[in-house]
Chains A and B, each alone.
Chain A
C-alpha cells in the first residue's frame, strides 16, 4: 500500500481565521465548510440544547442576507447546504458547482460578521428543533439511545453530562440576547477554520478567503472552560424506559483514552476488533454464535461521533439489543465474557492484521465521501477541520493512519485491560414498558 498523499495547503489570516484548501479536479464541484470550535459540551448552564438551537439560527439571516437567503442562494446555484452540532465543533457546509464558490464564501463571511435575527426567527426555529427532537428521540424506538442516555450516568461535570439535544424548558427559556451573546463569544474568526475542497487552487482559495473574511473583526479570546472529568471510578448504572421498542437493551460506556496517545491508537484497533461489522467479536459472539442479541454496535462516541471529532472526555461505547427471553444479567454476562477474553488474551496477530486493513479501508472511504455521496469529501473536510482546531495541523489527515497501523497485539491487550474495566464503567438499561407481540 502507498502512503496517503492528499494535497492540501493552509494559511492564517490576520484576524486569526485559519484557511485550508485541498485541490482536487475530479469534478467541477467544491465542498466548503466553516467549523467553529464550539459544540454542545460548552453551551451555557440552564440552556441545554442551545448550541444546536443556535446552529439553526445561523440559517435565519445575517448582515446582508436575510431569512431564507442562505438557503435560496445555495440551492439556486445548484448546491446543497447544512450544518451540524457536535460535542466540540459546529459546522456549516455547502457542496456546489465550483462556479458558485465565491458566492458561498460571501455568505459564510456574512454570517461570521453578524447575525441578523429576531424573536420571530427564534420562535420559529425553537418549534422546528422541538419537532427534530421528537422525530429523532421522543417519538422513535430507541431514540437517543445511548448517546443521550450514557453521559448523565458516566460523567459528573455538567458540560460532559447534560442533555445535549435540550430539555424543552431550557429551549423555551432561550432568548435573543442568549443568541447574540453566544455568537459574540464563540463565533469569531480566531475560533474557526474555513475549508475549501475540490475544484479550487490554494492561490484562488486564499485570495477569496482574504477578500471576504479578511475584514471580519477578530473578536475577543474565547473563555477557558473547565471540562475536566474525574475518573469513572466505579460501576455506575442507569435505567431508561423504552416507550416504543419491543426489545430490552443496554449500553456500556468506558472512558476512552486521550486523543493521539498510544492507548488511543490501540483502543481504535480494539474497537474495530470488538465492533467492526459482523466479524467483530461482540456481534459474532452475541448475535451469530450465542444468539442472545439481535443487534450490537459500538465505538468511540458511538453513534453520533467518531474517533476524530471530539476534544474532551468521551466514552468508548457498546450497545446491545437482546431477545426478551434472556434477562439483562445473562446478556451482560455473555457480553463480559467477550470483554474478559480481550483483557486477558488480547487479540490474535492475524485478527489485528485484518482489523488494520479494514480500518485503513474505511478511513479512505470516509475521506472521499460522506452523506451517501451527496457531500463530496465531507469526511476529508471534517477531519481536516478537527485536526486544525484541536491540533493546529490539518496535514495529520495524511499521517494519522501510520499510528494505527503500528499498533501491536500487546498494546491492544494492554489498552483493553486498562480501559475496559468492568468495575469502572457506566451501564444504561433500556427497558420496554410494554411486552413484545410474542
Chain B
C-alpha cells in the first residue's frame, strides 16, 4: 500500500520508531482511616470523589471452610438468606428500599469469608449503612425464603455440573486438598437437601460478630463523618467469641496423576493443572507473583504467546496464584480443542520447566516488573479498584504500607528471585492434572501424562 507520509524511502521516518516512555508521574495512595470500634469491628475508609457514590464490603472472617465437615456450603446459603428478611423488613421491602436508594447489595460466602458488599449513592449513605447493619445483626431467616433459596441453590448446582470450568476446579481442589476443608468448593445436592433452617441462624449468631469482621468503604464521603456514622450504626453490634476455622493436614502429592472428568458431548477439553503454593503473607509472595506473570499471568507471558499466539490451541489460557487464608496454590488452565490435549500439556510443562531450569533474561524481567507495577496503579483510579486493593491488604493482614511499597518491592526483584520461586512453587514433577471433556476424544492423550482416574460430573 502506498502511504503518503512514508512515500520517500530515504526520508527520515518520524513514525517508524516506538516513542520512549515519558517521565513517570508519582503514584500517591490515598490516606486511609483505619480504626477499631469499641466492639472490635475493624473499619477502613478511603475518600474517592470520582462519582457521587460509595462502595464497600462488610467481611465476616468465617466461611464455608468453617462448616465443611458438618454442612458444606452452609455459609453460602446463610449469606444468601441473610438478604431475604430482617426483623424490620420483608424480602420485598429490602429490594424496594435498595432500588429507592439506587443501591446494590450482594451477600456471599467463600472458603474463608462471608461478605455483605454494597454500593450506592452518597445522598442515601446513612440509609444504606443502616440496612447493611440490619442484615449483619438482625437477619430473620424466614422459612419460605429459605426453602426457595435452597431450591435455587440446587438448580444452580445442577447447571454448574454441566460447566467445564466448574467441574475442573471442583476435581482439582478435591485432589489438592484431600481431607482439608478447602477440598470442597460446592456442596452436593444431597447435602443441600439435608440443611435444616435452624442451622442458618446458628451459624449466623456464632460467626457474624464485630470482633471477627472488617468494614471497608471507599467513596464520595468525608472520612471523619463516615466514621462517626459507622460508630453510631454499628456500635451496638454485640461482640462474642467466634469459633475457629477447621483445618487438616494437606495430602502429600507425589508424581503426576491425571484426573479425567467425563463430560459426554463436549466439543472442547478443559485442562487444569497445578500444585500447592503459599499464602499472601508468605515472604515469597511477590517473587511467585512475578514468576507467574512471566509464565502465564499476563497477555505477554510465555505460555500465552506459545499456545495461543504461536500455536492457536486456545483462546484464554492463564496461570494464577490463588491465596486462601491457610494455604495457597498455583494453577494453569486452558480450554483447548480435543485434538491438542497432549500437545497443550506438553507445552504447559515445557514452559514450567524452562522457568525452573533457566534464569529469565534482563529485558523480559524488566518488562514483567513494569507490568506488575503499572497495572497495580490502575487500581487507584476507581472506587472499585481501590476497594479491591484495600480488601487484599486488610483481609490478609498485610503491612500497613503494603500499597505504598508494592512498586519498589517489585522493582527490586531479580532473575534469581524468579528462578527460586519457580523451583519452589512450579512443582511440575508432582502436578495434579485435571482434564474435563468427552472421554472418547481425549482419554488416549491424557494417559500419556500419568496414571488416569476417571470420574463423571456427579462423582464425589
* Chain A residues engaging chain B, CB cutoff 8 angstroms: 1-2, 24, 26-29, 63-65, 67-68, 71-73, 75-81, 95-103, 106, 109-110, 113-114, 123-132, 134-135, 138-142, 198-199, 212, 215-217, 243-247, 276-279, 284, 287-288, 291, 294, 323, 353-355, 357-358, 360-362, 364-365, 367-369, 372-377, 436-437
Contact of B25 among A98, A128, A131 (CB under 8 A): A98
Q: Are A114 and B3 in contact (CB under 8 A)?
A: yes
User: Which residue from chain A places its CB closest to the CB of B407 in the assembled complex?
Assistant: A78
| Interface assignment of B50: CB less than 8 Å from any CB of chain A | yes
Which residues in window 13-34 of B have CB below 8 A to A? 15-27
Which of chain A's residues have a CB closer than 8 A to the CB of B310? 124
**Can you list 11 A-B pairs, Cβ within 8 angstroms, ordered by A?**
A2-B52, A29-B377, A127-B337, A131-B336, A212-B15, A247-B159, A357-B121, A360-B121, A368-B382, A373-B378, A376-B382
Q: Is A288 a contact of B148 with CB atoms below 8 Å?
A: yes
CB contacts (< 8 Å) of B22 on chain A: these are 98-102
Task: Judge whether A288 and B91 touch: CB under 8 Å.
Answer: yes
Selecting from B276-284, B297-305, B324-332, B412-420, the interface stretch reads: B297-305
* Nearest-CB residue, chain A, relative to B48: A26
CA distance A365 to B121 in the complex (A): 10
> Do residues A365 and B51 form an inter-chain contact, with CB atoms below 8 A?
yes
* B45 on interface, CB distance cutoff 8 Å: no
Would you give the 0/1 interface string for B130-167, flagging 1 where the beta carbon is closer than 8 Å to chain A? Answer: 00000000000000000010011001101101111000
Q: Which residues from chain A contact B366 at a C-beta distance below 8 Å? A: 76
What per-residue 1/0 map shows which CB atoms of B358-372 lie under 8 Å from chain A?
000000001110110
CB distance from A13 to the nearest CB of B (A): 13
Given A365-B119, A369-B382: A134 and B3 interface contact (C-beta under 8 Å): no
B102 on the A face (CB < 8 A): yes
Contacting A354 at CB < 8 Å: which of B96, B148, B298? B96
Given A354-B99, A436-B158: A376 and B385 within 8 A (CB)?
yes
Closest 8 CB pairs of A and B: A78-B374, A361-B102, A127-B312, A76-B367, A215-B5, A376-B381, A373-B385, A28-B25
A2–B220 Cα distance when bound, in Å, is 14
Distance, CA A277 to CA B95, complexed state (A): 8
Cα-based distance from A39 to B400 in the complex (angstroms): 47
- Stretch of B205-213, B231-239, B249-257, B260-268 at the chain-chain interface: B260-268
Minimum CB–CB distance for A407 against chain B, Å: 16
Report A122 CB to chain B, min CB distance, Å: 10
Asked if A134 meets B335 with Cβ closer than 8 Å, knowing A99-B24, A128-B308, the reply is yes
Q: How far is the CA of A277 from the CA of B121 in the complex (A)?
A: 17
**In contact, B148 and A135 (Cβ under 8 angstroms):** no
* Residues of A with C-beta under 8 A to B101: 357
10 additional A-B residue pairs with CB within 8 Å, beyond A2-B52, A28-B24, A124-B311? A29-B381, A99-B23, A102-B19, A106-B18, A199-B25, A244-B162, A294-B156, A353-B100, A361-B103, A368-B383
Asked, given contacts A124-B312, A129-B315, A247-B159, whether A26 binds B50 with beta carbons under 8 Å apart, the answer is yes
B: interface residue count bin: 35 or more
Q: Does B385 lie within 8 Å of A361, measured CB to CB?
A: no
A310 to B162 alpha-carbon distance, docked (Å):
33
Which listed residue, A113, A128, A278, touches B312 by the CB 8 Å rule? A128
Contact A73 B18 (CB under 8 A): yes
| Chain A residue with the shortest CB-CB distance to B299 | A71
Contacts of B123 in A (CB 8 A): 1
Chain A residues lying within 8 Å of B347, measured Cβ to Cβ, are: none
When the two chains form their complex, are residues A215 and B18 in contact, meaning their CB atoms are under 8 A apart? no
Judge whether B178 is part of the interface by a CB distance below 8 angstroms. Answer: no
Interface-central residue, B164, B312, B382, by most chain A CB under 10 Å: B382
Whole-angstrom distance between the alpha carbons of A372 and B389 in the complex? 12
Do B316 and A376 touch across chains, with their CB atoms under 8 A apart? Answer: no
Closest to B1 in A: A114
Tell whether, in the assembled complex, residue A78 and residue B377 are in contact, meaning their CB atoms are under 8 Å apart.
yes
B337-A131 in contact (CB<8A) = yes
Expressed in whole angstroms, the minimum distance between the Cβ of B203 and any Cβ of chain A is 23
CB-based contact A246/B121 at 8 Å: no
Bound complex: CA A369 to CA B218 (Å): 14
How far, in angstroms, from A141 to B162 measured CA to CA in the complex? 7
- The interface residues of chain B lying within 8 Å CB-to-CB of A76 are 300, 366-368, 370-371
> What's the least CB distance linking B224 to chain A, in Å?
21
B104 at interface by CB-CB < 8 Å = yes
Asked if residues B381 and A198 are in contact (CB atoms below 8 Å), the reply is: yes
B residues within 8 A CB of A77?
Answer: 21, 370, 374
Chain B residues with Cβ below 8 Å from A367 are 51
Interface residue? B439 (CB, 8 A):
no
**B84 and chain A: residue at smallest CB distance:** A288
Which of A2, A124, A247 is the one whose CB lies under 8 Å from B309? A124
Residues of B within 8 A of A75 (CB): 298-300, 367, 371
Any A CB within 8 A of the CB of B353: no
Task: Select one of B16, B155, B314 contacting A131, CB under 8 A.
Answer: B314
Closest residue on chain B to residue A104 by CB atoms: B19
Cα A75 to Cα B372 with chains together (Å): 9
Q: Is B380 an interface residue, CB under 8 A from the partner? A: yes
**Cα distance A318–B370 when bound, in Å?**
45
**Contacts of B158 on A, CB cut-off 8 Å?**
246-247, 436-437
B377 to chain A, nearest CB (A): 6
Closest residue to A109 on the B side, CB-wise?
A: B15
| CB nearest to A242 among chain B residues | B162
In the complex, chain A residues whose CB is within 8 Å of the CB of B53: 361, 364-365, 368
Chain A residues within 8 Å of B148, by CB: 288, 291
Inter-chain contact A135/B316, CB cutoff 8 Å: yes
Contact flag A358-B268 (CB < 8 Å), given A26-B50, A65-B18, A130-B337 = no
In the assembled complex, the CB of B8 is this many whole angstroms from the nearest CB of chain A, namely 13
Q: What are the residues of chain B within 8 A of A78 when measuring CB–CB? A: 370-371, 373-375, 377
The answer to the question of B4 belonging to the interface, with a C-beta cut-off of 8 Å to chain A, is yes
The answer to whether B381 touches A27 (Cβ under 8 A) is yes
Across the interface, name the chain B residue whose C-beta is closest to A25.
Answer: B25
Asked if A246 and B159 sit within 8 Å, CB to CB, the answer is yes
Minimum C-beta distance from B75 to chain A (A)? 21
B22 closest partner in A (C-beta): A99
Residues on the B chain within 8 Å of A26, using CB: 48, 50, 380-381
Q: Is B390 an interface position by the 8 A CB rule?
A: no
Residue of B nearest to A136 (CB): B315
Distance in angstroms between the alpha carbons of A63 and B52 in the assembled complex? 44
The chain B residue with its CB closest to the CB of A101 is: B22
Task: Report which of B21, B23, B266 forms a contact with A139, defined as CB distance below 8 A.
Answer: B266
Interface pair A139/B91, CB less than 8 Å apart: no
State whether the Cβ of B98 lies closer than 8 Å to any Cβ in chain A. yes
Most central of A26, A65, A244 by chain B CB within 10 Å: A244
Closest to B2 in A: A217
User: B189 contacts the other chain (Cβ, under 8 Å)?
Assistant: yes
B351 CB-CB contact with A under 8 Å: no
Expressed in whole angstroms, the Cα–Cα distance for A166 and B48 within the complex equals: 43
Q: Chain B: which residue is nearest A214 at the CB level?
A: B5
In this complex, what residue of A is CB-closest to B148? A291
B56 to chain A, nearest CB (A): 14
Closest to B83 in A: A278
Known A-B contacts A128-B308, A215-B4, A246-B158; the reply to A28 vs B26 at CB < 8 A is: yes
